[in-house]
Structure 1
């Protein structure tokens, strides 16, 4: 179960609830710290989807 309308869990307890409800993957907020992600990873082995944006100046090549 993945529902884009569900709130993104920002703590391990909320993630555990979604896992217990049958989630098969979870979208997490993009502003979590590495420590936050580690705490969330400790409560479940569900895939954690993390959306990141980067500017063109972060290594993307551009054609001229």
Structure 2
């Protein structure tokens, strides 16, 4: 193979790698957005629950013998 063909082949592989990485970043960005919304919802629910005066879950309370 001549030098031009080798360079074209290398560029094709690099282009494919960049496209694959771009797809991965897009997928991760969507997942991060989804998880961010979920965390915000959970924080909102917990704040609402605390404002209504609910007791802390048993896991967050000290045992009676302390």
- Which structure exhibits the higher relative contact order, with contacts defined as CA atoms closer than 8 Å and separated by 6 or more residues? 1
Task: Give the shorter-chain TM-score range.
Answer: under 0.3
Considering fraction of residues, name the structure with more strand: 1
- TM-score, normalization: structure 2? 0.24
- TM-score, normalization: structure 1? 0.24
Considering fraction of residues, name the structure with more helix: 2
